[in-house]
Amino acid sequence: MRQRVVITGMGTISPLGHDVETLWRGVLAGRSGISKTELFDARTFPSTFSAQVKDFRPQGLVPNLENHAHAGRATQFALAAAHQAWRQAGLDANGGPDRSRVGIYMGCGEGSLDFEAFTTCLLDAWASGKLDTVRWAKLAWERMDLYREVEQEANMVASHLTRQYEVTGPVINVLTACAASTQALGEATWLIRRGLTDVMISGGSHSMIHPLGVTGFNRLTALSTRNDELATASRPFDRTRDGFVLGEGASILILESLESAQARGAAVLAEIIGFGSSADAFRITDQDPDGAGAAAAMHMALKDAGLTAADIDYINAHGTGTSQNDSVETKAVKSVLGARAKACPISSVKSSLGHLIAAAGATELITCVLALRDRVLPPTANYRTPDPDCDLDYIPNTARPAPNVSIIMSNSFGFGGQNNSILIRR
């Protein structure tokens, strides 16, 4: 029998705050989490701003911090977010669940290298126009922090969470770029449905605000360069959009079989009812311009839920603020919803949050759960100039009461052509 899957806990560390309610208040108000980059000297970069997590100190937010002394920034974010979610779900009561029936499925990206040590070793090992690899290895061994190098591996977040919660069920990490945490949540749902686990700790964490991350996205011309208008630089679906704003953070959700949640007397926040995943098979950095891959993921999610497009009350868009993504997503939504597309509200909270890359989908799903709870839809901030290619109802600038909202779709599309859509209901 297919198990029903519900959400019983949520936690976040985001550019808008260090807990779920602060995130939600900021999103509803259209507050900007974007500021001048402080994590490194970005003054000479085309984009000098980002959506950073501010004033984060793991002390008091991460239990058993001594066990995670070498954890990287993204890992500490995830540990803090997981603590919030685990506590809200009430999983410590009566000794907690059978850990062999608890799993972890994360969508996490690589951590940041020790750039200073890396570059000095590289330069010092360079002679006569070539790299002395023997000298490089010797210098790297002497100067580079082994723990920091290990911590850049994408699976480290899941490894730390495993230790923190003594989980002995399946532990998995997926890195499908900007679609990673939505894919993790969707596939964690599959594991519970099949009866392989009772509880999954799932979500995403990422921190790419470092020279390599910013250089890569700037070279792809994917980042906004509105250095004099940084608070309004993220403009999804607006005609003047010029790219996304790189962000960081972590969001974790506790997924659980309905049977398990009811047996524990846990409060159910929402139910996951559908998931769809597809690939574009197009280009490594660009979406298929006709939106076929994105539409396929949405159709699959609807089919999985046993619903039709007419059942969707709101779409939380991937909505990055790049020219291509927003027009392609609009085209895909029209393809799926047909004549009803213009009547279905859609918005992008990246206008406030920036783009949290692997953590984006999980963070956005949290706002969807809260939209169901409070019966209000978050706005697309900074929307001023309509684009003829983006002609849907994007909930411009002001949150909208939605007393009848019941079913929400959230989209995540990643570089390389990964498309994921997830459906939740009250």
Task: For residues 298 and 364, give the distance between their C-alpha atoms in angstroms, rounded to a whole number.
Answer: 16
Task: For residues 134 and 29, give the distance between their C-alpha atoms in angstroms, rounded to a whole number.
Answer: 56
What's the angle, vertex CA 105, arms to CA 99 and CA 107, rounded to 5? 150
Query: Any catalytic annotation for residue 355?
Result: yes
Nearest to 330 by CA among 363, 284, 298: 298
Rounded alpha-carbon distances, angstroms, from residue 90 to 200, 230, 268, 367, 399: 14, 40, 11, 21, 31
Q: Is 2 left (phi over 0), alpha (psi -120 to 50) or beta?
A: beta
Read off the DSSP letter of residue 5: E
Nearest to 251 by CA among 24, 423, 93: 24
Helix (H/G/I), strand (E/B), else coil: 65: helix
Cα torsion angle, 329, 235, 19, 14, sign: positive
Number of H helices, E strands in the chain: 13, 16
> Which position among 344, 355, 368, 390 bears the catalytic label?
355
Contact of 315 with 346, CB cutoff 8 Å: yes
> Which position among 210, 318, 344, 368 bears the catalytic label?
318
> Which position among 108, 121, 178, 344 bears the catalytic label?
178
Query: Any catalytic annotation for residue 344?
Result: no
Task: For residues 248 and 268, give the distance between their C-alpha atoms in angstroms, rounded to a whole number.
Answer: 28
Q: How many CB atoms are located within 10 Å of the residue 142 CB? A: 9
Query: Any catalytic annotation for residue 318?
Result: yes
Active site residues: 178, 318, 355
